[in-house]
C-alpha cells in the first residue's frame, strides 16, 4: 500500500491572511458583440451554413412556440407552460455542438435543445395536452418532455436531481466504451441544491465525461442571484471541485457553440467533467403561474431585450449573406399554422385508458395494484358522469 | 454447499452477479479496496477492477443520484449505503426519482436494474444512528421493492434475485446477524422469489410474522409457547413491498390469530399495514385482535437497547394474551 500525503500540494504561509472571493476573476467568453460582429475571428467556431441556419430556425421556432403556448395556457387549453425566452442561444447552440448520441438531461427550460434534436410540433403538443399519444402517457405536467430515441432523458420537477444522475449516466457511457457523453442543464437556483455539490464532486472524482451546463439567468422565480449566492457565480465553484470551467455569454450563439464544442472534446479525451456557466437573462416569466412585475422592473427587462440572442445571431447570419428575410417570414408563418393545427388536433385526442393508471409503476402491476384497478373501474362504472375523461372508455 | 455467515453469503452473491453480468457495478463509501466497513465487498475490486467496484465520495444523495443515472443508462448498479440510518439524505433521489422513473416517462426509461444494499437494525449497541429499521418509510413508495433476508441462504438467493429484478430494490441486511448467522449456502447460482413469504414452521393456533433478525426472536417465542401447548405458525415475510398477502391471510384463516413483530417503532410501522389488510380479508376468521410487538415510539436508545427491543419475552407474553382473549 502506498503512503499518501494529502499536504503535498499545500504551501505554508506565515501571514494571517483570509483569502477572499474575487482573487480569481472568471471572465465571460463573448465572440459576437451585440451588433452581431465577431470579436475575435480566430476564436470563432466553424459553423457551416446548414448548421447555422438550423440553429437560427430552431431559436425562432421555439420563441414562436413559447408565445403560442403561453397564449394557449391563458385560454385554459393547457394547465401550465414555461417559456425560455431570452435563453434560446444557450440551449440551442449547446445542443448543436453535441453528437446526437450524447444524452441530454435537462431541468425544464431547455425545449430549444429538444427541438434541435428533432422533436416535432405534434410531439410537443401531445405531451402538453397529456393525451394518450403523450410518451409519458399523460402522467406528468406540461413541459416534462422525454424521448428515448432522441437521447433526451424525461424531465422531472425536483430541482438538481439530474446533476448526480448525469454523472452516473456518463460513467456508464464511459464503461460501455462508446464515444458519447452526457450534458446536464440546470439553472443557477438549482445549483444551490445539495445534489449540485454531490453530482459535480462525484463526476470529478470518478472521472465522468459530462458537461454541466448552468443557465445563469439572474432569477430563480422571484429570487435574484444576490439572494442565491455570494461567490463569483457558479463558475467559481467548478474550480473548487477541480473541474475545468468556462463562463460564456449565453446570448451569444458563437460563444456557447465554441465552449460546448471544446468541452465535449476535452470531456471525451480526458474522461472528465467540464462546467459551463452561460450568463443570460430570463426574459420570460418563471412560468404561467408567475408574474415577474412583482419583483423586477420593466426597464431592467428592456436592457436585456437589447441583447436578444435571436436578433444578434440573425445579424451575424446577415453579415455572412445567409439571412433571408423572406424565407424567415415564410418559415415563421408556416410554423405558426403548424402549431395552431397541432393544438387543435392534440386537444381532441383522449387521455389514456384508465387501466394505464397502474402500468409502469413496476415492470408488471403487483397484486395490490391489480386489486385497486378493479375497484376503481367498478367505481367509475357506477358514477360515469363524474369521471367523463375515462368512463366512456373503460376497457 | 458451503458454510458461510451472512456477510460471506452477500459477498458470494455479489461475486456471482458480477461474474455473470459485466454490467454489474458495486460502489459506495469504503467499498473499494478496503472491502466495506463490514467486509461485504471484500476482494471485489481485486477481482473485477476499479471500474466496477469503487469508492465514492461521502455523499448518500450523490451515491443514489449517480446510481439512478447509471441504471437508466443500462448498467446494473448495486449501491451501498453504509448504514440504513444514513439513507435519508438520499430519500429524495429514491422517492422522487428512482421509484417514479419508469412511471413518469411512460416506460421509456427505467431505474429497474438498481439495487440499494444497506445494513439495518439494532442489537449491536449502535444507539440512534446505527440501529434504525426504516423499511416502513420505503413501503410507502410506489415503484420500490423492499427485501430483507434472515440468514445466509436467504441472503444470497434474495440478493441475486434483487440485482436481476427489473425494478429498483432496497435490500436491507440485518447487521446483527452479519457474523452471528451461519448456515449452508449453495455454491450454485440460485434465486429466491421476491414478493414471497417463507413458511419457517407450520402451526395451528397462532400465526407469528416477522422479517430479518426478528425471525429468530419469534422462533424462540414459538418454542416457549410450544412448551405451554400453543402451536405457532412462524412466517418470514422476506419482501416488505410488494408483500405476500396470500400466504399471510391463508395462514391467519387457518390459525385465527396473528402476531406481527418488528424492531421499528410501532406507529406507522409496517405491521400496521399488514394488520389492516388482514382484518379486511380475514375478519370472519379472527378469534382475537391482531397483536403488534414492536419497537417503542422513541428514537433507538443506547443504554436501554435491551428494554427497547421487541424480544422473545415480549413476544411470548403477547402470544399468551392473544390466546387467552
* B65, A198 contact by CB (below 8 A): yes
Tell me the per-residue pLDDT of A226-248, one tens digit each, with 9 for 90 and over. Answer: 999 999 999 999 999 999 999 99
Q: Which residues pair with B172 in a beta bridge?
A: B118
DSSP codes of every residue in A319-381: HHT---HHHHHHHHHHHHHHHHHHHHHHTTSPPPPGGGGGTTSSSS--HHHHHHHHHHHHHHH
Do B211 and B320 sit in the same domain of this protein?
A: yes
Tell me: do B287 and B207 sit in the same domain. yes
Q: How many CA atoms lie within 13 A of A379 on its CB side?
A: 9
Query: Shortest Cα distance from B167 to chain A (angstroms)?
Result: 6
Both B13 and B114 in one domain: the answer is yes
The closest of A256, A113, A287, A79 to A184, measured between CA atoms, is A113
Residue B192 lies in a domain: no
A243-267: per-residue pLDDT in tens?
A: 999 999 999 999 999 999 999 999 9
Q: What is the mean pLDDT of chain A?
A: 96
Residue A1 has pLDDT above 80, yes or no: no
Q: Is B134 within the bounds of a domain?
A: yes
Give the cell for residue B288: 382475537
pLDDT of residue A326: 95
Q: Are residues B178 and B206 in the same domain?
A: no
For domain A49-346, the question of CATH label 3.40.309.10 is answered with no
Does some domain include residue B136? yes
Active site residue B273: no
B79 shares a domain with B24:
yes
Angle separating helix axes A121-128 and A325-346, nearest 10 degrees: 40
| In a shared domain, residues B231 and B312 | yes
pLDDT at A71: 96
- Expressed as residue numbers, the domain containing B229 is 198-324
Cell reading at A91: 440551449
Q: CATH number, domain at B314?
A: 3.40.50.920
Which of A135, A148, A361 lies closest to B103 in CB terms?
A: A361
User: In this complex, do A201 and B68 lie within 8 Å of one another by their Cβ atoms?
Assistant: no
CA distance A276 to A213: 5
Q: What residue of A is the nearest CA neighbor of B109?
A: A148
A368 chain-B contacts, CB cut-off 8 A: 242, 245
**Residue numbers in B near A162 (CB within 8 A):** 69
Domain annotation covers residue B255: yes
Rounded to an integer, what distance in angstroms lies between the CA atom of residue A259 and that of residue B165?
41
Compute the distance between CA of residue B93 and CA of residue A205 in angstroms, rounded to an integer.
Answer: 20
Q: Are residues B160 and B214 in the same domain?
A: no
**Residue among B80, B97, B130, B219 flagged as catalytic:** B130
Mean pLDDT for A81-88 is: 97
Q: What is the pLDDT of residues B219-254, one digit of tens each?
A: 999 999 999 999 999 999 999 999 999 999 999 999
The reply to whether B14 falls in a domain is: yes
Q: Is A107 exposed, middle or buried (0-12, 13-18, 19+ CB in 10 A)?
A: buried
Shared domain check, B102 and B9 = yes
* Sequence spans of domains, chain A: 49-346, 354-386
The confidence band for A19, taking pLDDT boundaries of 50, 70 and 90, is confident
- Partners of B116 in the β-ladder: B79, B170
CATH number at residue B79: 3.40.50.970
Residue B47 resides in a domain: yes
Pair B27, B151 in one domain = yes
Residue B118 lies in a domain: yes
Q: Which has the closest alpha carbon to A78: A126, A165, A15, A142?
A: A142
Domain membership of residue B191 (yes or no) is no
Overall domain count for chain B:
2
Same-domain pairing of B113 and B142: yes
Closest CB from B61, B112, B145 relative to A194: B61
Size of interface A-B (CB pairs under 8 A): 153
Residue that terminates a domain, selected from B141, B163, B185: B185
How many angstroms separate the CA atoms of A98 and A211, rounded? Answer: 10
B145, closest residue in chain A (CA to CA): A362
Confidence class for position A376, pLDDT limits 50, 70, 90: very high
Are residues B129 and B45 both part of a single domain? yes
Amino acid at each position: 500500500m502506498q503512503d499518501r500525503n494529502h499536504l503535498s500540494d499545500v504551501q505554508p504561509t506565515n501571514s494571517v491572511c483570509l483569502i477572499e472571493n474575487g482573487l480569481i476573476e472568471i471572465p465571460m467568453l463573448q465572440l459576437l458583440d451585440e451588433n452581431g460582429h465577431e470579436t475575435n475571428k480566430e476564436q470563432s467556431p466553424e459553423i457551416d451554413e446548414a448548421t447555422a441556419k438550423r440553429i437560427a430556425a430552431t431559436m425562432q421556432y421555439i420563441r414562436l412556440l413559447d408565445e403560442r403556448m403561453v397564449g394557449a395556457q391563458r385560454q385554459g387549453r393547457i394547465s401550465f407552460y414555461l417559456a425560455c425566452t431570452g435563453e434560446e442561444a444557450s440551449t440551442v447552440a449547446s445542443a448543436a455542438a453535441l453528437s446526437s448520441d450524447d444524452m441530454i438531461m435537462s431541468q425544464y427550460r431547455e425545449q430549444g435543445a429538444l427541438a434541435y434534436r428533432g422533436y416535432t410540433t405534434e410531439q410537443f403538443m401531445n405531451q402538453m395536452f397529456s393525451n394518450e399519444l403523450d410518451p409519458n402517457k399523460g402522467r406528468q405536467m406540461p413541459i416534462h418532455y422525454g424521448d428515448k430515441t432522441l437521447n433526451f432523458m424525461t424531465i422531472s420537477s425536483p430541482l438538481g436531481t439530474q446533476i448526480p444522475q448525469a454523472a452516473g449516466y456518463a460513467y456508464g457511457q464511459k464503461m460501455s466504451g462508446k464515444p458519447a457523453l452526457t450534458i446536464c442543464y440546470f439553472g443557477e437556483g438549482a445549483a444551490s441544491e445539495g445534489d449540485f455539490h454531490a453530482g459535480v464532486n462525484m463526476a470529478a472524482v470518478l472521472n465522468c465525461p459530462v458537461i454541466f451546463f448552468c443557465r445563469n439567468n439572474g432569477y430563480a422565480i422571484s429570487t435574484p442571484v444576490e439572494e442565491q449566492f455570494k461567490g463569483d457565480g457558479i463558475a467559481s465553484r467548478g474550480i473548487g471541485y477541480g473541474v475545468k470551467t468556462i463562463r460564456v455569454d449565453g446570448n451569444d450563439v458563437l460563444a456557447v457553440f465554441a465552449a460546448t464544442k471544446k468541452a465535449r472534446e476535452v470531456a471525451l479525451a480526458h474522461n472528465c467533467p467540464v462546467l459551463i456557466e452561460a450568463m443570460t437573462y430570463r426574459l420570460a416569466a418563471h412560468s404561467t403561474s408567475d408574474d415577474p412585475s412583482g419583483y423586477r422592473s420593466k426597464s431592467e427587462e428592456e436592457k436585456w431585450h437589447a441583447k436578444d440572442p435571436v436578433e444578434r445571431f440573425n445579424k451575424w447570419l446577415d453579415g455572412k449573406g445567409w439571412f433571408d428575410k423572406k424565407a424567415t417570414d415564410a418559415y415563421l408563418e408556416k410554423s405558426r399554422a403548424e402549431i395552431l393545427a397541432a393544438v387543435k388536433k392534440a386537444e381532441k385526442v383522449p387521455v389514456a385508458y384508465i387501466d394505464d393508471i397502474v402500468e409502469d409503476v413496476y415492470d408488471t402491476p403487483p397484486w395490490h395494484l391489480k386489486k385497486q384497478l378493479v375497484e376503481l373501474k367498478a367505481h367509475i362504472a357506477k358514477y360515469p358522469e363524474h369521471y367523463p375523461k375515462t368512463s366512456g372508455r373503460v376497457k | 454447499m458451503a458454510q458461510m455467515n451472512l456477510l460471506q453469503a452477500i459477498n458470494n452473491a455479489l461475486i456471482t452477479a458480477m461474474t455473470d453480468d459485466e454490467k454489474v457495478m458495486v460502489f459506495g463509501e469504503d467499498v473499494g479496496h478496503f472491502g466495506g466497513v463490514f467486509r461485504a465487498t471484500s476482494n471485489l475490486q481485486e477481482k473485477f477492477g476499479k471500474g466496477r467496484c469503487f469508492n465514492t465520495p461521502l455523499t448518500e444523495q450523490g451515491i443514489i443520484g449517480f446510481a439512478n443515472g447509471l441504471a437508466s443508462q443500462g448498467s446494473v448498479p448495486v449501491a451501498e449505503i453504509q448504514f440504513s440510518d444514513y439513507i435519508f439524505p438520499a430519500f429524495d433521489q429514491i422517492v422522487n426519482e428512482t421509484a417514479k422513473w419508469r412511471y413518469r416517462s411512460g416506460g421509456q426509461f427505467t431505474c429497474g436494474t438498481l439495487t440499494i444494499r444497506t445494513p439495518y437494525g439494532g442489537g449491536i449497541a449502535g444507539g440512534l444512528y446505527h440501529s434504525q429499521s426504516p423499511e416502513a418509510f420505503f413501503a410507502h413508495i410506489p415503484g420500490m421493492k423492499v427485501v430483507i433476508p434472515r440468514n445466509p441462504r436467504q441472503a444470497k438467493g434474495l440478493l441475486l434475485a434483487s440485482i436481476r429484478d427489473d425494478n429498483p430494490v432496497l435490500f436491507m441486511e440485518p447487521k446483527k446477524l452479519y457474523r452471528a448467522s451461519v448456515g449452508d449456502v449453495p455454491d450454485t447460482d440460485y434465486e429466491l422469489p421476491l414478493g414471497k413469504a417463507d413458511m419457517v414452521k407450520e402451526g395451528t393456533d397462532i400465526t407469528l410474522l416477522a422479517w430479518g433478525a426478528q425471525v429468530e426472536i419469534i422462533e424462540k417465542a414459538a418454542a416457549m409457547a410450544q412448551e405451554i401447548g400453543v402451536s405457532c405458525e412462524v412466517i418470514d415475510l422476506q419482501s416488505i413491498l410488494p408483500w405476500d398477502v396470500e400466504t399471510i391471510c391463508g395462514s391467519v384463516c387457518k390459525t385465527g390469530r396473528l402476531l406481527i413483530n418488528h424492531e421499528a417503532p410501532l406507529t406507522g410501522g409496517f405491521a400496521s399495514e399488514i394488520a389492516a389488510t388482514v382484518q379486511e380479508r380475514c375478519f370472519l376468521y379472527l378469534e382475537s385482535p391482531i397483536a403488534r410487538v414492536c419497537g417503542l415510539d422513541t428514537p433507538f436508545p443506547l443504554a436501554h437497547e435491551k428494554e427497547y427491543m421487541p424480544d422473545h419475552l415480549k413476544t411470548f407474553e403477547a402470544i399468551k394474551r392473544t390466546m387467552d382473549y
